[in-house]
Structure 1
């Protein structure tokens, strides 16, 4: 083996070792980022679960209007666990959400004339009478079973 070949092989080996080290460094960054993303997702999931517990308790204690509470719970359920949001025991939240989807909100609600607002409010009252018991059962189920802390 000539000295030139030996030098080129040494440089090639060093280059391969340097690239392998850099690849390892990059993979460690990827793994660290994946762990951080998983921790962030777990924290977000726990925060949404806590918000759902608060809303379900508020709905049961009648601290929030039934329609508003049901809509908020439905939206949080969709962000928490789509499967849970589609559970038949939570169907009432979807039903109330669908029944009120066309109702204007915020500034658009304020812009409605009184007759139109009263018409919507009458519809809200009818929906509350129709769905109150089911919404309370669903909120209780969420608290007692679906969102209950898991025993280790």
Structure 2
């Protein structure tokens, strides 16, 4: 091998080696970021699952009004798992959400005239009578079959 070839080979190695080390550094950052994203998603799902278990249990124990519980469960389940949200057993939550979507909340609810509030409350009672059994069955199904058991932090 002549001197020129050897010099070019060394120059190439001196260029390639730092670039390879930099590429490895960048890949390690990508892998660490992917790991962090997976961990954040796992923690989010665990938190949402825990919240869903609490809401479903509260709905079954009648510690939470049916309409409010159904609305909250529907919103959380949409964020937790789209496939689970689309399960026919969860449709009652969607039905109650859609039936009450037009009802004002918070300050707008307080601003309603008394007869308007009473009209909405009467509709809530109708919906509760109509959907209570299905909502309770769906909440029980979520707790017993659909949601993973709570993680032990022992």
TM-score for both structures, normalised by structure 1? 0.93
**2:45 aligned with 1:41:** no
Q: Which residue of 2 aligns with 1:74?
A: 74
SS at match of 1:103: coil
Q: What runs of 5+ residues in structure 2 fail to find an aligned partner?
A: none
Alignment map for 1:3-152 (pairs within 5 Å): 3=3, 6-149=6-149
Q: What runs of 5+ residues in structure 1 fail to find an aligned partner?
A: none
Q: CA deviation at 1:4?
A: 5.7
C-alpha distance in 1 between matches for 2:83 and 2:70: 17
Q: CA deviation at 1:11?
A: 2.4
Q: Deviations over 1:102-134 (max 9, x none)?
A: 001111111111111111111001000000000
SS at match of 2:39: helix
Q: Are the aligned partners of 1:74 and 1:85 in contact in 2 as well (CA < 8 Å)?
A: yes
Q: Deviations over 1:39-78 (max 9, x none)?
A: 1101110110010000000000000100000000000000
Give me the CA root mean square deviation.
1.5
Q: CA deviation at 1:12?
A: 2.4
Q: CA deviation at 1:6?
A: 4.0
TM-score for both structures, normalised by structure 2? 0.92
Q: CA deviation at 1:9?
A: 3.5
C-alpha distance in 2 between matches for 1:10 and 1:110: 79
